[in-house]
Structure 1
């Protein structure tokens, strides 16, 4: 929401500077993103009137204008197509300074002298419109400084409102809020009813009263849509980020900004019969004002005439019933739509409008008639016309019920830890627009309909705290004793896992738990994801069953930004199963791509491979106190390369996967391969072993090396397990120091060079002892795995 400080001062006599006001709003929970000037700096620009316009003698595209600059007549050469006698426009006189460090000097254009420049809105930095001169009102005072005339020495306060504060999406609500924060009384807006000049009405029928319990309409005949919108209104719209589109549309937008009530105007001649508020029917379509035609779903609330939809309720009007240059009779619409009827509907069609933004958060359900009266008064003032009676159709049962909340002084003290004076409590609540009865120990507070966020006592206390000032609430230590929960010594914390990966050169990624269904299907097709009823966007439509979709999307985004060497990890929840039996389990996942080492002179460039990733997983296993706890079993996963993937088992249970991303998935996600990734259940890493003391032998160790010929189908892990079982307690360590394939080794086999470290606690081992152990190991390998000693 963009707030004009000058507009706010016309509603509330506040004396705070914009910066100070921004601080107040931020401290009260209405975060201010920026405070910026309403117009860029420029000087020497005045209001001028074109008295005469003649063709330039040396250029067909230029005009020679005689301009009244307030006391003197100047000759100006101008190329704007709308330059004409009687038009009042901005004139930058000689010596003027315009945005972009442009200084105006006397010039000679095609042999004719020009003493200044007539300006467009773009040249003054007021809009992007550079198609012609900026046209000012016919009564604009000639010779007056343009900044003073338009009030451009204004500040815009941009507020990032939270979804629960829809009441502040209008200047009326903001003025009420500032009144509560500053203590300045807010007199309110004087809204006077308009007397009808004819009896014409249109039948209005609410077929979906639960979604639209109130619809207010009014017919206005004889409207001059060619009338210019006053400059003051155009300026207020511009500062709010809305461009001028003609008097009728400008008025509806202005009332929306002023009162927070979105409005719409229909061309009465293009409506067939009355107005029907209903749900869309199967097969219906609507051409919107933005030129897009949408297929309506049965869940969409529409405004229709007796034959077809003419607007998407609370979102956008239709092109077929819009106000055009030929419109003379209009139907004003001012309605209340339930937030639940509008929430998510705009996004489902790829839309987001000022109207839907407000209705989704909640609009005051009792202000529709006042908004219609205000809009009528402005239209009559600007474009003329004859208004009919107000048509107010209400289903009072479906309107939000009135709320009364009891507030206790003891509860205020208990929650805030301080006593707020009773008169302060009453004053704060009343300035917020709440009706307060009772006291001094208990109040009955009637909540106005526009405050959807207040329903319980704690909500009122929150309002008191933020308006009273969080900085005025003293810091107090809790009176209750604090107990420290015991932490199992064997537990490996998530913080330690994350820090370990960061120390290993990884960067942590934080992605949404919602992912693109297409990517989810590519990466983890074995699990059907839970679809979101109200997704943020089409590519965030389902809950993730794996952390890989988010990590791969982050990888693609980084690679597209020239980040070639990537090491990313993420921790979070996976959501698996049906909605009524959904399981949420924590996981840690990582991805590596690009060079194995940063570019350097000491080592040649090498691309990461499967064993780089396996080493990362083994280092995580070391956090448990046992680097060999995981078993890596060659297996296939839909997202992984068939020849470079492994299942990770722990005590016979599958706890994760690692491997190279499947080439088809790489291509589908536009990744620069190869990409390697892993995923582990978090619980498998968090249950470790408590370190225990083990004495060192005083006797020397002996090493025996074996060259074993092993079939390719037999993993090194199986060989290691067999050796450990056969070696007994004397075998202290196994070292794999060589892997060889080639001459001297049969086909489909490899030679493993394995060192056995032997040591006893009670004596020095003899050669006979070592030979016995080696023979036992070799025999077990041969009988269990078909392993032979290499000759």
Structure 2
């Protein structure tokens, strides 16, 4: 929001307003507003003078329109200048930059020869003078603004800086000079005159126009005022044009300028209709299927049933709160006969912020009106703003106020808020002066009463003003008192840090896993945690798969990904695709993070009060209503795991690498994970391993190669491998056993077992471990053979058994006995025979 000091001075006692724009900016900062920039006055030097156009000669021998103009100053002084603009005529007042002047940007004006003539200066546009961005034509001053020969810098107010503020969405009332002036007056303890209170809204009989509100939720209030016989060609006074330019808006015509000025001044968006083009009753309703509307920008828009419309008997005439329709547009002065007049219907309404916000985004049509409606407009303003705009059209456009005013709907009741009188002091840790709380809330606009609370202590009963719907609870009132008293008055004291015991065991385990994967060459990333429902079809999940049961995000960052993910793989695979698209062919990524797994029948979430700690029962209910959020570890690999080079052709990442990454995760977590054959989407059923904690039957994750259909659906590289583990499902061992070190040498014994192909290698390894007993230190598979020598449907698996005793050197007989016991156990369990 941009505002000039002179506009603020309309509502604040000028004697209390600092002369320095920096001091004004500092005052805004004290009450919590952010000053984005202070735009200094345009740097203009030299003669810049008001002149009257005396003659215009059209030079037709050139490709584009060129005018050779005589401009008269005071007395007999005049100059001839070349100008290409067409928006002025003989008799108009213009601004002439004479030779020797220097405009913003170092643009020096000099006498020059051009188009076969001598141009002795330049007729300036608003942009060239630093007044705005409009370069469509030169600046034409309204009649009576000045006299030829006057200093244009003083006439135009070009010595005044403009303050630009960033207004947060929760303070929509500051999207108007009315609200900004109130905040500045509070910061300066200056006198403030509410511009809305200065507008007299007289009683009238009858309606200005018939109105019917069908959707009272979308439009709680709709006001219409009619002004007949307005001259659309009447010029906007310079003070109004200057105000609009300082706010970053371009003056267009009197009727448009009046509605824009009132919107910026009071905060209430207005819209003007040509009464002659409105037929029958105005109705506010939702759009119907198939309806279309041509808006003022010339685009025909297909309407959505959620759109709120302004309609008459002919159909839609406006997209409520966003933009009007072309069918009821007030004609430009050039479209009327000379002296033609227009009857204007002024609309001032109150619309639902969410309805307007959705419409503006749906149609990609942000406007100054929608920006304000999205942030809540004062529902008491419509009759005041309509009356103020009508008065200006009568005063400046020669119109006549028609009898009647339509005011459908009303102002919703505002609930009072109770707050202990001492609460701001207790929250801030500061003893504020007596009466400060009531005084500050009164400056905000609240009606304040004192009462004795149930505990016998003094309480504030504050009724918020209609323009502050955000003041709904005691904490909001506390914030206003602290903000206006000054956050800088609150002492900054760091609480003493209590002694702690360092990281928890779960935190240490998480860091150990991240570090181990990084040391193994995987890059840790933070993928996007939200997914769309369509990703589960790409993953090939069954309709009843529990991973499809997700939690919706109320206000998602991405509308297409509005669900909390139940697995880390979708986000991690997205990052794999993104990295591959940017030229990274060999990718190995890992992540550690929480997933959200709601229950099939979630409990209702209670809504405890914020004035005190929830009770034990409420806390238990909150905990029960929260979905499970376990910590997972995920890994994806594609491309070469061992890079190719002069040393060899390298090695492509495969399902074995994913399994090894999972086992490495288990080792870092302090357990041994045993892989065994598994089946789970989105992995390839024949190349998927489930990871089980050794010594238990607890499955904590899956690893392997992704299914080819999943690879194709997601655009992944062929044979992409992945793993995902539930870290919280792995037993947390805070006191790991001390490693047992034997000083005696090990004995290695190899065995080759022939078994059915359906027997998993891990099952044979378990049988060997169980049979060998406590002498066995490790089992390692080092060879797999299939062929004629072992028979069809069979395979040979060769294991190396490493044995050691803690108290002696093993003899060959002991080692062989342990080996034979291990083979016997494998034979008994799986029918394996020694090869």
TM-score w.r.t. the length of structure 1 is 0.83
Structure 1 match to 2:382 = 368
* Secondary structure of residue in 2 paired with 1:437: strand
2:732 equivalent to 1:687: yes
2:779 equivalent to 1:762: no
Distance apart, 1:428 and its partner CA: 1.7
Measure the CA separation in 1 of the matches of 2:364 and 2:2: 24
* Secondary structure of residue in 1 paired with 2:423: helix
Post-superposition Cα deviations, 1:62-105, rounded to whole Å, max 9, x if no partner, equal 63534548575444334344465445555555455556665555
Question: Residue 273 of structure 2 contacts residue 330 of structure 2 at CA under 8 Å; is this kept in 1?
Answer: yes
Q: Which structure 2 residues correspond to residues 427-576 of structure 1 after superposition, within 5 A?
A: 427-438=439-450, 441-475=458-492, 489=505, 506-509=523-526, 511=528, 513=530, 515-519=531-535, 521-523=537-539, 525-526=541-542, 527=548, 529=550, 538-556=559-577, 567=589, 569=591, 571-576=593-598
With 552-561 and 183-192 compared, the bigger mean Cα shift is at: 552-561
Distance apart, 1:344 and its partner CA: 4.1
Measure the CA separation in 2 of the matches of 1:2 and 1:601: 65
Measure the CA separation in 2 of the matches of 1:329 and 1:579: 61
Structure 1 match to 2:429 = 417
2:286 equivalent to 1:259: no
Distance apart, 1:547 and its partner CA: 3.7
Post-superposition Cα deviations, 1:145-173, rounded to whole Å, max 9, x if no partner, equal 55972537523423140x43222222211
1:388 to 390, 402, 414: 402
Structure 2 match to 1:109 = 114
Post-superposition Cα deviations, 1:175-212, rounded to whole Å, max 9, x if no partner, equal 21222233223222163337799987212233333543
Distance apart, 1:647 and its partner CA: 4.4
Q: Which structure 2 residues correspond to residues 191-270 of structure 1 after superposition, within 5 A?
A: 191-193=198-200, 201-230=208-237, 232-270=239-277
* Secondary structure of residue in 1 paired with 2:744: coil
Distance apart, 1:218 and its partner CA: 0.7
Question: Residue 260 of structure 2 contacts residue 270 of structure 2 at CA under 8 Å; is this kept in 1?
Answer: yes
Measure the CA separation in 1 of the matches of 2:719 and 2:126: 53
Question: Residue 732 of structure 1 contacts residue 757 of structure 1 at CA under 8 Å; is this kept in 2?
Answer: yes
* Aligned Cα root-mean-square deviation (Å): 4.4
Distance apart, 1:760 and its partner CA: 0.7
Measure the CA separation in 2 of the matches of 1:374 and 1:213: 21
Q: Which structure 2 residues correspond to residues 317-332 of structure 1 after superposition, within 5 A?
A: 317-325=324-332, 328-332=342-346
2:178 equivalent to 1:172: yes
Distance apart, 1:410 and its partner CA: 3.0
Distance apart, 1:120 and its partner CA: 4.5
2:617 equivalent to 1:617: no
Q: Which structure 2 residues correspond to residues 659-738 of structure 1 after superposition, within 5 A?
A: 659=704, 676-684=721-729, 687-706=732-751, 714-736=759-781
Structure 1 match to 2:679 = 635
Question: Residue 490 of structure 1 contacts residue 690 of structure 1 at CA under 8 Å; is this kept in 2?
Answer: no
With 596-605 and 691-700 compared, the bigger mean Cα shift is at: 596-605
* Secondary structure of residue in 2 paired with 1:329: strand
Structure 2 match to 1:303 = 310
Change (3 A) 1:676 1:404: same
Measure the CA separation in 1 of the matches of 2:750 and 2:155: 94
With 152-161 and 444-453 compared, the bigger mean Cα shift is at: 152-161
* Secondary structure of residue in 2 paired with 1:35: strand
2:302 equivalent to 1:294: yes
Distance apart, 1:770 and its partner CA: 1.7
Question: Residue 317 of structure 2 contacts residue 328 of structure 2 at CA under 8 Å; is this kept in 1?
Answer: yes
Post-superposition Cα deviations, 1:395-453, rounded to whole Å, max 9, x if no partner, equal 45xx4223333343333333222211113223322221222334895433232122112
Measure the CA separation in 1 of the matches of 2:395 and 2:768: 97
With 84-93 and 254-263 compared, the bigger mean Cα shift is at: 84-93
Change (3 A) 1:178 1:748: farther
Measure the CA separation in 2 of the matches of 1:617 and 1:100: 64
* Secondary structure of residue in 2 paired with 1:61: coil
Unaligned 5+ residue runs, structure 1? none
* Secondary structure of residue in 1 paired with 2:422: helix
2:393 equivalent to 1:379: yes
* Secondary structure of residue in 2 paired with 1:370: helix
Question: Residue 570 of structure 1 contacts residue 590 of structure 1 at CA under 8 Å; is this kept in 2?
Answer: no
Question: Residue 662 of structure 2 contacts residue 724 of structure 2 at CA under 8 Å; is this kept in 1?
Answer: no
Distance apart, 1:56 and its partner CA: 4.5
2:48 to 37, 46, 71: 46
Change (3 A) 1:745 1:280: same
Unaligned 5+ residue runs, structure 2? 337-341, 452-456, 543-547, 604-625
Question: Residue 702 of structure 1 contacts residue 759 of structure 1 at CA under 8 Å; is this kept in 2?
Answer: yes
Question: Residue 530 of structure 1 contacts residue 578 of structure 1 at CA under 8 Å; is this kept in 2?
Answer: no
Change (3 A) 1:601 1:184: farther
Measure the CA separation in 2 of the matches of 1:644 and 1:353: 56
Q: Which structure 2 residues correspond to residues 277-288 of structure 1 after superposition, within 5 A?
A: 277-281=284-288, 284-288=291-295
Measure the CA separation in 1 of the matches of 2:364 and 2:407: 31
Distance apart, 1:580 and its partner CA: 4.9
Distance apart, 1:587 and its partner CA: 4.1
Structure 1 match to 2:438 = 426
Measure the CA separation in 2 of the matches of 1:11 and 1:598: 72
2:64 equivalent to 1:61: yes
Q: How many residues align?
A: 781
Distance apart, 1:472 and its partner CA: 1.1
Measure the CA separation in 2 of the matches of 1:225 and 1:701: 104
Change (3 A) 1:390 1:568: farther
Change (3 A) 1:712 1:536: same
Change (3 A) 1:70 1:562: farther
Question: Residue 702 of structure 1 contacts residue 758 of structure 1 at CA under 8 Å; is this kept in 2?
Answer: yes
Change (3 A) 1:16 1:85: closer
Q: Which structure 2 residues correspond to residues 749-788 of structure 1 after superposition, within 5 A?
A: 754-781=799-826, 784=829
Measure the CA separation in 2 of the matches of 1:714 and 1:152: 90
Measure the CA separation in 1 of the matches of 2:102 and 2:286: 56
Post-superposition Cα deviations, 1:231-255, rounded to whole Å, max 9, x if no partner, equal 5545544554544454333332332
Question: Residue 512 of structure 2 contacts residue 669 of structure 2 at CA under 8 Å; is this kept in 1?
Answer: no
Distance apart, 1:372 and its partner CA: 0.9
* Secondary structure of residue in 2 paired with 1:421: coil
Distance apart, 1:335 and its partner CA: 1.6
Question: Residue 272 of structure 1 contacts residue 307 of structure 1 at CA under 8 Å; is this kept in 2?
Answer: yes
Distance apart, 1:759 and its partner CA: 0.8
Distance apart, 1:57 and its partner CA: 8.4
Measure the CA separation in 2 of the matches of 1:287 and 1:17: 47
Structure 1 match to 2:621 = none
* Secondary structure of residue in 1 paired with 2:665: helix
Structure 1 match to 2:616 = none
Structure 2 match to 1:11 = 11
Question: Residue 198 of structure 1 contacts residue 387 of structure 1 at CA under 8 Å; is this kept in 2?
Answer: no
